[in-house]
Amino acid sequence: MTISSSLSAGVAGLNANATRLASISDNIANSGTYGYKRVSTEFSNLVITGSRGAGSYSAGGVRASTTRLIDERGDLVGTSNALDLAIAGRGMLPVVQEVALEDGSAPLLMTRTGSFRTDADGVLKTDGGLVLMGWPADPDGTIPPFPRDSISGLVPIVVNTNQMVGNPTSEIGLGVNLPATYTLAGSTSVVPPLSVEYFGNLGTSETLEVSFQAIVPATGSSNQWTMQVRDSASGGALIGEYTLTFDDTRGAGGTLASVAVVSGGAYNPADGTIALTVAGGPMTVNIGIPGEPDGITQLSDTFAPLAITKNGSPVGTLVKVEIDQAGFVNATYDTGLTRRLYQVPLVDVPNPNGLLSLNNQTYQISPESGAFLLWEAGSGPTGTIEGYSREGSKTDVAAELTNLIQTQRAYSSNAKVIQTVDEMLQETTNIKR
Protein backbone atom coordinates (compact mmCIF):
# COMPACT_ATOMS: atom_id res chain seq x y z
CA MET A 1 0.00 0.00 0.00
CA THR A 2 2.77 2.43 0.92
CA ILE A 3 4.77 1.69 -2.22
CA SER A 4 1.74 1.96 -4.49
CA SER A 5 0.74 5.26 -2.84
CA SER A 6 4.23 6.54 -3.61
CA LEU A 7 3.61 5.68 -7.24
CA SER A 8 0.29 7.52 -7.21
CA ALA A 9 1.93 10.54 -5.56
CA GLY A 10 4.62 10.59 -8.23
CA VAL A 11 1.99 10.50 -10.99
CA ALA A 12 0.04 13.29 -9.26
CA GLY A 13 3.26 15.30 -9.09
CA LEU A 14 3.81 14.84 -12.83
CA ASN A 15 0.25 15.96 -13.56
CA ALA A 16 0.49 18.98 -11.24
CA ASN A 17 3.76 20.17 -12.72
CA ALA A 18 2.43 19.56 -16.22
CA THR A 19 -0.46 21.88 -15.34
CA ARG A 20 1.97 24.50 -14.07
CA LEU A 21 4.04 24.10 -17.23
CA ALA A 22 0.91 24.72 -19.31
CA SER A 23 0.15 27.95 -17.44
CA ILE A 24 3.77 29.10 -17.74
CA SER A 25 3.80 28.41 -21.46
CA ASP A 26 0.50 30.32 -21.86
CA ASN A 27 1.93 33.29 -19.95
CA ILE A 28 5.12 33.39 -22.00
CA ALA A 29 3.24 32.96 -25.27
CA ASN A 30 1.09 36.01 -24.40
CA SER A 31 3.90 38.24 -23.15
CA GLY A 32 3.16 40.58 -26.06
CA THR A 33 -0.64 40.32 -25.95
CA TYR A 34 -2.38 43.59 -24.99
CA GLY A 35 -4.57 43.22 -21.93
CA TYR A 36 -3.43 39.67 -21.13
CA LYS A 37 -3.80 38.62 -17.48
CA ARG A 38 -1.32 36.01 -16.31
CA VAL A 39 -2.33 32.65 -14.87
CA SER A 40 -1.02 31.64 -11.46
CA THR A 41 -0.73 27.95 -10.51
CA GLU A 42 -0.86 26.95 -6.86
CA PHE A 43 -0.20 23.49 -5.36
CA SER A 44 -2.05 21.94 -2.41
CA ASN A 45 -1.32 18.60 -0.80
CA LEU A 46 -3.70 15.66 -0.42
CA VAL A 47 -3.59 13.78 2.92
CA ILE A 48 -4.78 10.16 2.96
CA THR A 49 -3.99 9.43 6.60
CA GLY A 50 -2.41 11.47 9.31
CA SER A 51 -2.76 9.17 12.33
CA ARG A 52 0.07 9.39 14.80
CA GLY A 53 1.90 6.17 15.56
CA ALA A 54 0.25 4.31 12.71
CA GLY A 55 3.57 2.88 11.75
CA SER A 56 2.92 3.43 8.04
CA TYR A 57 2.22 6.38 5.82
CA SER A 58 0.23 6.57 2.57
CA ALA A 59 1.19 9.37 0.21
CA GLY A 60 -1.77 11.42 -0.97
CA GLY A 61 0.06 13.42 -3.58
CA VAL A 62 -0.53 16.97 -4.81
CA ARG A 63 -3.28 18.87 -6.56
CA ALA A 64 -2.81 21.90 -8.86
CA SER A 65 -5.26 24.81 -9.07
CA THR A 66 -5.01 27.73 -11.51
CA THR A 67 -6.25 31.30 -11.14
CA ARG A 68 -6.29 34.06 -13.75
CA LEU A 69 -5.31 37.25 -11.94
CA ILE A 70 -7.71 39.61 -13.67
CA ASP A 71 -7.43 42.30 -10.99
CA GLU A 72 -3.75 42.86 -11.79
CA ARG A 73 -3.29 45.93 -13.99
CA GLY A 74 -0.74 46.12 -16.76
CA ASP A 75 1.25 49.19 -17.75
CA LEU A 76 -0.35 51.59 -20.24
CA VAL A 77 1.36 51.79 -23.64
CA GLY A 78 0.89 54.89 -25.82
CA THR A 79 -0.36 54.51 -29.41
CA SER A 80 -1.29 56.76 -32.34
CA ASN A 81 -4.96 55.72 -32.62
CA ALA A 82 -7.43 57.93 -30.75
CA LEU A 83 -9.76 54.96 -30.30
CA ASP A 84 -7.16 52.70 -28.72
CA LEU A 85 -8.64 52.52 -25.24
CA ALA A 86 -7.29 51.41 -21.87
CA ILE A 87 -8.37 51.99 -18.28
CA ALA A 88 -6.29 53.75 -15.66
CA GLY A 89 -7.67 52.09 -12.55
CA ARG A 90 -10.48 49.68 -11.84
CA GLY A 91 -13.26 48.73 -14.26
CA MET A 92 -13.77 47.23 -17.72
CA LEU A 93 -15.14 48.34 -21.09
CA PRO A 94 -18.55 46.91 -22.07
CA VAL A 95 -18.43 45.02 -25.38
CA VAL A 96 -20.40 42.36 -27.24
CA GLN A 97 -19.46 39.93 -29.95
CA GLU A 98 -20.48 41.19 -33.38
CA VAL A 99 -21.86 37.77 -34.34
CA ALA A 100 -24.06 37.68 -31.23
CA LEU A 101 -25.23 41.21 -31.96
CA GLU A 102 -26.38 40.28 -35.44
CA ASP A 103 -28.59 37.36 -34.40
CA GLY A 104 -30.20 39.23 -31.53
CA SER A 105 -28.43 37.49 -28.63
CA ALA A 106 -25.78 39.74 -27.15
CA PRO A 107 -24.55 38.77 -23.68
CA LEU A 108 -22.42 41.41 -22.00
CA LEU A 109 -18.69 40.88 -22.30
CA MET A 110 -15.94 42.94 -20.68
CA THR A 111 -12.40 43.82 -21.65
CA ARG A 112 -9.67 45.97 -20.17
CA THR A 113 -8.35 47.33 -23.46
CA GLY A 114 -9.13 47.38 -27.16
CA SER A 115 -8.19 48.94 -30.48
CA PHE A 116 -11.46 50.17 -31.96
CA ARG A 117 -12.10 51.39 -35.50
CA THR A 118 -15.20 52.04 -37.56
CA ASP A 119 -16.37 49.40 -40.02
CA ALA A 120 -18.31 49.98 -43.24
CA ASP A 121 -21.45 50.78 -41.23
CA GLY A 122 -19.68 53.11 -38.79
CA VAL A 123 -19.76 50.61 -35.89
CA LEU A 124 -16.80 50.87 -33.50
CA LYS A 125 -15.26 47.42 -33.15
CA THR A 126 -11.95 45.59 -32.88
CA ASP A 127 -10.37 43.29 -35.45
CA GLY A 128 -11.58 40.41 -33.29
CA GLY A 129 -15.22 41.48 -33.71
CA LEU A 130 -15.77 43.10 -30.30
CA VAL A 131 -18.32 45.94 -30.57
CA LEU A 132 -17.99 48.83 -28.12
CA MET A 133 -21.20 49.64 -26.23
CA GLY A 134 -22.35 52.92 -24.70
CA TRP A 135 -25.27 55.09 -23.61
CA PRO A 136 -26.66 57.31 -26.43
CA ALA A 137 -26.76 61.07 -25.88
CA ASP A 138 -29.79 63.28 -26.46
CA PRO A 139 -29.62 65.84 -29.31
CA ASP A 140 -28.41 68.50 -26.86
CA GLY A 141 -25.49 66.28 -25.76
CA THR A 142 -26.85 65.28 -22.35
CA ILE A 143 -26.88 61.64 -21.25
CA PRO A 144 -30.31 60.61 -19.93
CA PRO A 145 -30.49 58.32 -16.88
CA PHE A 146 -30.11 54.63 -17.72
CA PRO A 147 -30.23 51.48 -15.56
CA ARG A 148 -26.89 50.77 -13.88
CA ASP A 149 -27.52 47.08 -13.18
CA SER A 150 -28.73 46.19 -16.67
CA ILE A 151 -27.46 46.42 -20.25
CA SER A 152 -30.90 47.49 -21.52
CA GLY A 153 -29.70 51.06 -22.06
CA LEU A 154 -26.48 50.13 -23.88
CA VAL A 155 -26.33 50.36 -27.68
CA PRO A 156 -23.52 49.78 -30.19
CA ILE A 157 -21.53 52.96 -30.76
CA VAL A 158 -21.98 54.03 -34.38
CA VAL A 159 -20.08 56.94 -35.92
CA ASN A 160 -20.88 57.84 -39.52
CA THR A 161 -17.57 59.18 -40.80
CA ASN A 162 -19.18 60.63 -43.95
CA GLN A 163 -21.96 62.50 -42.14
CA MET A 164 -22.54 66.26 -42.43
CA VAL A 165 -24.01 68.14 -39.48
CA GLY A 166 -25.37 71.64 -39.04
CA ASN A 167 -25.56 73.58 -35.79
CA PRO A 168 -28.35 76.20 -35.75
CA THR A 169 -27.75 79.49 -34.00
CA SER A 170 -29.88 79.99 -30.90
CA GLU A 171 -27.96 82.74 -29.06
CA ILE A 172 -26.43 86.05 -30.22
CA GLY A 173 -24.62 88.67 -28.16
CA LEU A 174 -24.52 92.32 -29.26
CA GLY A 175 -21.62 94.37 -27.95
CA VAL A 176 -22.19 97.77 -29.61
CA ASN A 177 -21.41 101.36 -28.63
CA LEU A 178 -23.89 104.02 -29.81
CA PRO A 179 -22.71 107.65 -30.11
CA ALA A 180 -24.11 109.72 -27.24
CA THR A 181 -23.94 112.93 -29.32
CA TYR A 182 -26.49 111.57 -31.82
CA THR A 183 -29.31 112.08 -29.27
CA LEU A 184 -28.54 115.79 -28.81
CA ALA A 185 -31.14 118.30 -29.98
CA GLY A 186 -30.63 119.22 -33.63
CA SER A 187 -28.56 116.15 -34.49
CA THR A 188 -29.17 114.60 -37.91
CA SER A 189 -26.50 111.90 -37.69
CA VAL A 190 -27.48 108.32 -38.47
CA VAL A 191 -25.60 105.14 -37.57
CA PRO A 192 -25.20 102.52 -40.29
CA PRO A 193 -27.27 99.31 -40.05
CA LEU A 194 -25.64 96.31 -38.41
CA SER A 195 -25.81 92.90 -40.11
CA VAL A 196 -25.28 89.85 -37.91
CA GLU A 197 -24.93 86.46 -39.58
CA TYR A 198 -26.58 83.42 -38.05
CA PHE A 199 -27.09 79.83 -39.17
CA GLY A 200 -30.49 78.31 -39.84
CA ASN A 201 -31.79 74.86 -39.05
CA LEU A 202 -30.49 73.51 -42.37
CA GLY A 203 -27.09 75.13 -42.03
CA THR A 204 -28.00 78.06 -44.28
CA SER A 205 -26.43 81.47 -43.71
CA GLU A 206 -29.01 84.06 -42.65
CA THR A 207 -28.73 87.57 -41.20
CA LEU A 208 -30.35 89.72 -38.58
CA GLU A 209 -30.50 93.34 -39.76
CA VAL A 210 -30.28 95.51 -36.63
CA SER A 211 -30.87 99.24 -37.05
CA PHE A 212 -30.51 101.98 -34.42
CA GLN A 213 -32.34 105.30 -34.74
CA ALA A 214 -31.54 108.07 -32.28
CA ILE A 215 -34.55 109.79 -30.68
CA VAL A 216 -33.71 113.51 -31.00
CA PRO A 217 -35.51 115.86 -28.56
CA ALA A 218 -36.36 119.50 -29.11
CA THR A 219 -33.89 120.51 -26.43
CA GLY A 220 -31.11 118.78 -24.51
CA SER A 221 -30.29 115.11 -24.93
CA SER A 222 -32.76 112.20 -24.85
CA ASN A 223 -30.26 109.33 -24.40
CA GLN A 224 -32.86 107.17 -26.16
CA TRP A 225 -32.71 104.98 -29.25
CA THR A 226 -35.13 102.88 -31.26
CA MET A 227 -33.74 99.47 -32.13
CA GLN A 228 -35.38 97.43 -34.89
CA VAL A 229 -34.49 93.82 -35.77
CA ARG A 230 -35.36 92.26 -39.13
CA ASP A 231 -34.86 88.64 -40.22
CA SER A 232 -33.62 87.80 -43.71
CA ALA A 233 -35.04 84.26 -43.46
CA SER A 234 -38.50 85.81 -42.88
CA GLY A 235 -38.23 87.96 -45.99
CA GLY A 236 -36.85 90.94 -44.10
CA ALA A 237 -39.86 91.13 -41.79
CA LEU A 238 -39.65 93.17 -38.60
CA ILE A 239 -39.43 90.67 -35.72
CA GLY A 240 -38.67 93.07 -32.87
CA GLU A 241 -38.69 96.80 -32.01
CA TYR A 242 -37.44 98.25 -28.74
CA THR A 243 -36.83 101.62 -27.13
CA LEU A 244 -33.46 101.76 -25.38
CA THR A 245 -32.89 104.31 -22.65
CA PHE A 246 -29.34 104.90 -21.37
CA ASP A 247 -28.11 106.16 -18.02
CA ASP A 248 -26.26 109.49 -17.92
CA THR A 249 -25.30 109.54 -14.24
CA ARG A 250 -21.69 109.65 -13.08
CA GLY A 251 -21.63 106.14 -11.64
CA ALA A 252 -23.37 104.27 -14.47
CA GLY A 253 -23.11 106.65 -17.39
CA GLY A 254 -23.44 104.99 -20.80
CA THR A 255 -25.08 101.78 -19.54
CA LEU A 256 -28.62 100.66 -20.25
CA ALA A 257 -31.18 102.14 -17.90
CA SER A 258 -34.30 100.47 -19.30
CA VAL A 259 -35.68 98.68 -22.34
CA ALA A 260 -39.27 99.16 -23.52
CA VAL A 261 -40.84 96.63 -25.87
CA VAL A 262 -42.65 98.14 -28.84
CA SER A 263 -43.12 94.80 -30.64
CA GLY A 264 -41.57 91.37 -30.60
CA GLY A 265 -40.36 89.22 -27.75
CA ALA A 266 -39.98 90.30 -24.13
CA TYR A 267 -36.83 91.75 -22.58
CA ASN A 268 -35.46 90.00 -19.48
CA PRO A 269 -33.49 92.46 -17.33
CA ALA A 270 -32.13 89.63 -15.17
CA ASP A 271 -29.89 88.29 -17.94
CA GLY A 272 -30.11 91.13 -20.47
CA THR A 273 -31.71 89.12 -23.28
CA ILE A 274 -34.61 89.67 -25.63
CA ALA A 275 -36.58 86.72 -26.99
CA LEU A 276 -36.95 86.81 -30.75
CA THR A 277 -38.60 84.37 -33.13
CA VAL A 278 -36.79 83.93 -36.44
CA ALA A 279 -37.97 81.76 -39.32
CA GLY A 280 -36.28 78.69 -37.83
CA GLY A 281 -37.55 79.08 -34.27
CA PRO A 282 -36.75 80.94 -31.03
CA MET A 283 -33.55 82.92 -30.56
CA THR A 284 -32.21 84.95 -27.64
CA VAL A 285 -30.23 88.14 -28.24
CA ASN A 286 -28.15 89.55 -25.38
CA ILE A 287 -28.17 93.36 -25.40
CA GLY A 288 -26.99 93.90 -21.81
CA ILE A 289 -28.17 94.06 -18.20
CA PRO A 290 -29.25 97.50 -16.90
CA GLY A 291 -26.37 99.19 -15.10
CA GLU A 292 -23.75 96.74 -16.43
CA PRO A 293 -21.02 97.92 -18.86
CA ASP A 294 -21.54 95.14 -21.38
CA GLY A 295 -23.87 94.58 -24.29
CA ILE A 296 -25.11 97.83 -25.87
CA THR A 297 -23.66 101.07 -24.45
CA GLN A 298 -23.92 104.78 -25.29
CA LEU A 299 -20.62 106.61 -24.93
CA SER A 300 -18.67 109.32 -26.76
CA ASP A 301 -19.42 110.04 -30.43
CA THR A 302 -18.29 106.86 -32.17
CA PHE A 303 -20.43 103.98 -33.45
CA ALA A 304 -18.47 100.77 -32.81
CA PRO A 305 -19.53 97.11 -33.02
CA LEU A 306 -17.18 95.95 -30.25
CA ALA A 307 -18.12 92.31 -29.75
CA ILE A 308 -20.59 90.29 -31.81
CA THR A 309 -20.86 86.72 -30.54
CA LYS A 310 -23.06 83.79 -31.51
CA ASN A 311 -23.27 80.04 -31.23
CA GLY A 312 -23.95 77.65 -34.09
CA SER A 313 -21.96 76.87 -37.18
CA PRO A 314 -22.45 76.08 -40.88
CA VAL A 315 -22.68 72.53 -42.18
CA GLY A 316 -19.52 70.62 -41.26
CA THR A 317 -17.91 67.30 -42.09
CA LEU A 318 -16.67 64.89 -39.43
CA VAL A 319 -12.90 64.98 -39.03
CA LYS A 320 -12.20 63.27 -35.68
CA VAL A 321 -13.78 61.11 -33.00
CA GLU A 322 -12.27 60.85 -29.53
CA ILE A 323 -13.29 59.38 -26.17
CA ASP A 324 -12.36 61.46 -23.13
CA GLN A 325 -11.51 60.28 -19.62
CA ALA A 326 -15.15 60.38 -18.53
CA GLY A 327 -16.10 58.09 -21.42
CA PHE A 328 -17.83 60.73 -23.55
CA VAL A 329 -17.63 60.02 -27.28
CA ASN A 330 -17.04 63.41 -28.91
CA ALA A 331 -17.20 64.08 -32.65
CA THR A 332 -15.31 67.08 -34.04
CA TYR A 333 -16.23 68.66 -37.38
CA ASP A 334 -14.20 70.83 -39.75
CA THR A 335 -16.20 73.90 -38.68
CA GLY A 336 -14.90 73.54 -35.12
CA LEU A 337 -18.19 72.12 -33.84
CA THR A 338 -17.89 69.37 -31.22
CA ARG A 339 -20.86 67.13 -30.49
CA ARG A 340 -21.30 64.54 -27.75
CA LEU A 341 -22.65 61.32 -29.21
CA TYR A 342 -22.40 58.63 -26.50
CA GLN A 343 -20.94 57.86 -23.10
CA VAL A 344 -19.02 54.64 -22.52
CA PRO A 345 -19.60 53.41 -18.95
CA LEU A 346 -17.23 51.14 -17.04
CA VAL A 347 -18.31 47.76 -15.71
CA ASP A 348 -17.30 46.73 -12.20
CA VAL A 349 -17.88 43.52 -10.24
CA PRO A 350 -17.10 42.65 -6.59
CA ASN A 351 -14.64 39.86 -7.50
CA PRO A 352 -12.86 40.42 -10.84
CA ASN A 353 -10.85 37.20 -10.43
CA GLY A 354 -14.12 35.27 -10.40
CA LEU A 355 -15.02 36.33 -13.94
CA LEU A 356 -15.22 33.70 -16.65
CA SER A 357 -12.26 34.11 -19.05
CA LEU A 358 -13.00 33.97 -22.79
CA ASN A 359 -11.07 34.54 -26.01
CA ASN A 360 -9.67 37.93 -27.04
CA GLN A 361 -9.03 39.02 -23.43
CA THR A 362 -12.76 39.20 -22.70
CA TYR A 363 -14.58 38.19 -19.54
CA GLN A 364 -18.11 37.30 -18.57
CA ILE A 365 -20.13 37.41 -15.38
CA SER A 366 -20.14 34.24 -13.25
CA PRO A 367 -21.58 33.32 -9.84
CA GLU A 368 -18.10 33.75 -8.33
CA SER A 369 -17.65 37.28 -9.70
CA GLY A 370 -20.89 38.71 -8.36
CA ALA A 371 -23.37 40.98 -10.16
CA PHE A 372 -22.06 43.83 -12.32
CA LEU A 373 -22.76 47.55 -12.03
CA LEU A 374 -22.25 50.27 -14.64
CA TRP A 375 -20.38 53.39 -13.53
CA GLU A 376 -19.49 56.65 -15.19
CA ALA A 377 -15.75 56.52 -15.78
CA GLY A 378 -13.87 58.20 -12.94
CA SER A 379 -16.74 57.87 -10.46
CA GLY A 380 -17.18 55.41 -7.62
CA PRO A 381 -14.48 52.72 -7.58
CA THR A 382 -13.69 52.97 -11.30
CA GLY A 383 -10.75 54.63 -13.01
CA THR A 384 -10.66 56.78 -16.12
CA ILE A 385 -10.70 55.84 -19.80
CA GLU A 386 -7.48 56.69 -21.60
CA GLY A 387 -7.44 57.18 -25.37
CA TYR A 388 -4.32 56.65 -27.48
CA SER A 389 -3.42 53.85 -25.04
CA ARG A 390 -3.38 50.07 -24.69
CA GLU A 391 -2.84 48.03 -21.55
CA GLY A 392 0.24 45.85 -21.79
CA SER A 393 0.50 42.17 -20.91
CA LYS A 394 0.92 41.36 -17.23
CA THR A 395 3.46 38.59 -17.98
CA ASP A 396 6.88 38.97 -16.37
CA VAL A 397 9.04 36.88 -18.72
CA ALA A 398 12.00 36.69 -16.31
CA ALA A 399 9.78 35.41 -13.50
CA GLU A 400 8.10 32.90 -15.80
CA LEU A 401 11.45 31.53 -16.99
CA THR A 402 12.50 31.10 -13.35
CA ASN A 403 9.26 29.23 -12.68
CA LEU A 404 9.94 27.15 -15.78
CA ILE A 405 13.29 25.98 -14.37
CA GLN A 406 11.68 25.10 -11.04
CA THR A 407 8.87 23.22 -12.78
CA GLN A 408 11.30 21.28 -14.94
CA ARG A 409 13.31 20.19 -11.87
CA ALA A 410 10.16 19.22 -9.97
CA TYR A 411 8.86 17.24 -12.93
CA SER A 412 12.18 15.38 -13.25
CA SER A 413 12.17 14.64 -9.51
CA ASN A 414 8.68 13.18 -9.67
CA ALA A 415 9.72 11.06 -12.63
CA LYS A 416 12.65 9.85 -10.53
CA VAL A 417 10.21 8.86 -7.76
CA ILE A 418 8.21 6.76 -10.25
CA GLN A 419 11.44 5.18 -11.50
CA THR A 420 12.51 4.38 -7.92
CA VAL A 421 9.11 2.85 -7.10
CA ASP A 422 9.38 0.72 -10.20
CA GLU A 423 12.79 -0.52 -9.11
CA MET A 424 11.50 -1.30 -5.60
CA LEU A 425 8.55 -3.21 -7.00
CA GLN A 426 10.98 -5.13 -9.16
CA GLU A 427 12.97 -6.03 -6.03
CA THR A 428 9.77 -7.22 -4.38
CA THR A 429 9.03 -9.44 -7.37
CA ASN A 430 12.55 -10.87 -7.22
CA ILE A 431 11.98 -12.14 -3.65
CA LYS A 432 10.01 -15.11 -5.01
CA ARG A 433 12.90 -16.13 -7.18
Which has more pLDDT, 150 or 55?
A: 150
Q: Report the predicted TM-score, pTM, of the whole model to 2 decimal places.
A: 0.76
**Residue 337: pLDDT band by 50, 70, 90 thresholds?**
confident
pLDDT, mean of residues 110-128: 92
Please tell me the predicted confidence (pLDDT) of residue 303: 92
Does the domain formed by 169-311 have CATH 2.60.98.20?
A: yes
pLDDT, mean of residues 64-88: 93
Residue 414 φ/ψ, nearest 5 degrees = -65, -35
Residue 102 pLDDT exceeds 70: no
**Residue 50: pLDDT band by 50, 70, 90 thresholds?**
low
CATH 2.60.98.20 domain extents, the chain: 169-311
Q: What digits encode the pLDDT tens for the residues 294-334?
A: 899 999 878 999 899 998 888 888 888 999 999 999 998 88
pLDDT, mean of residues 195-215: 92
Residues 6+ apart with CB under 8 A from 54: none
Q: What digits encode the pLDDT tens for the residues 382-412?
A: 999 999 999 999 999 999 999 999 999 999 9
Mean pLDDT of all residues in the chain?
Answer: 90
